[in-house]
Amino acid sequence: QLYELDGDPRRKEFLDDLFSFMQKRGTPVNRIPIMAKQVLDLYMLYTLVTEKGGLVEVINKKLWREITKGLSLPTSITSAAFTLRTQYMKYLYPYECEKRGLSNPNELQAAIDSNRREGRRQGFGGSLFAYSPGSTHGLLSSPKLPVPALGLASATNGGAITPGQKIKKGNDCSRVCLLQTAAQAAALEQLREKLESGEPPEKKLALVTDEQQRLMQRALQQNLLAMTAQLPMSIRINSQGTR
């Protein structure tokens, strides 16, 4: 199928050389890559990427939209950049390194890490990257994580802890908040990777909803633990408690 996509005589020469190279390095191409329910044209993908300076250059300059158009792929594909990058790394990047030497694996990893950090910063800037059925990508407001002054009413011997009590240990509270923020960052990073995994739209929407609920539950639990650790509690257990 890859050979028959067009009549370009360079296509056969490229594919023969690519498959031979991948076979010799022990990673033969045994399955035709598919994207948007059609064969992914490895010849055209390689041509477009190398014309722009190679994979690392495309990642750093965020040129995937142009690559997508060059491949005549639907603009409505979600996470097209992630999918194309993954397929290129699997089928074409070793060949690019061998034949063109446009970058090396260390530079590639640095580009991927930089791209991931930038995406995470944008996510915490006030919006969460999520799928929107009406467009290629939508922005969903990040879940507001409430930090309420929780009142803890306990059946003590004639007394109760009121909501008005203040937390005195500011340093402890700051440490708890930092731990909470780190946990939220890790959770949102995992969610972003799931959203880029090419799952169906319905599953992506469910992932966002579940993640919002999980983050709110975690925030409430951590706030509760932080306050109970700092508020003095003297609970007397009545040995004659009712059964």
Given a cut of 90, whether residue 53 has pLDDT beyond it is: yes
d(CA 64, CA 76): 13
- pLDDT tens for each residue of 148-171: 443 434 344 444 444 444 444 445
Greater confidence, 125 or 86? 86
Annotated domain spans of the chain: 9-120
Residue range 199-233, pLDDT digits in tens: 555 665 666 667 667 777 776 777 666 666 555 54
Q: Are 67 and 53 in contact (CB under 8 A)?
A: no
SS3 label, residue 128: strand
If one compares 40 and 143, the residue with the highest pLDDT of the two is 40
Counted residue by residue, the chain has a size of 243
Domain 9-120 CATH class label: mainly alpha
CA 17 to chain centre: 35
Residue 143 has pLDDT above 60, yes or no: no
CA pair distance 108, 105, nearest whole angstrom = 5
* % of the chain surpassing 70 pLDDT: 53
Of the ranges 112-116, 164-168, 179-183, 208-212, the best mean pLDDT one: 112-116
Beta bridge partners of residue 139, listed in sequence order: 129
pLDDT computed for residue 87 by the predictor: 96
Residue given tokens 């739209």 in the structure block: 201
**Per-residue pLDDT for 70 more than 60?**
yes
Tens-place pLDDT, residues 89-103: 999 999 999 999 999
The per-residue pLDDT for 197 is: 55
| pLDDT reported for residue 191 | 63
Query: For residue 53, what is the DSSP state?
Result: T
Q: How many CA atoms lie within 13 A of 166 on its CB side?
A: 3
Dist. CA 121–CA 147, nearest whole Å: 22
Q: How far apart are CA 179 and CA 172, in angstroms?
A: 11
* Per-residue pLDDT tens over the stretch 3-26: 999 989 999 999 999 999 999 999
For residue 196, is pLDDT > 50? yes
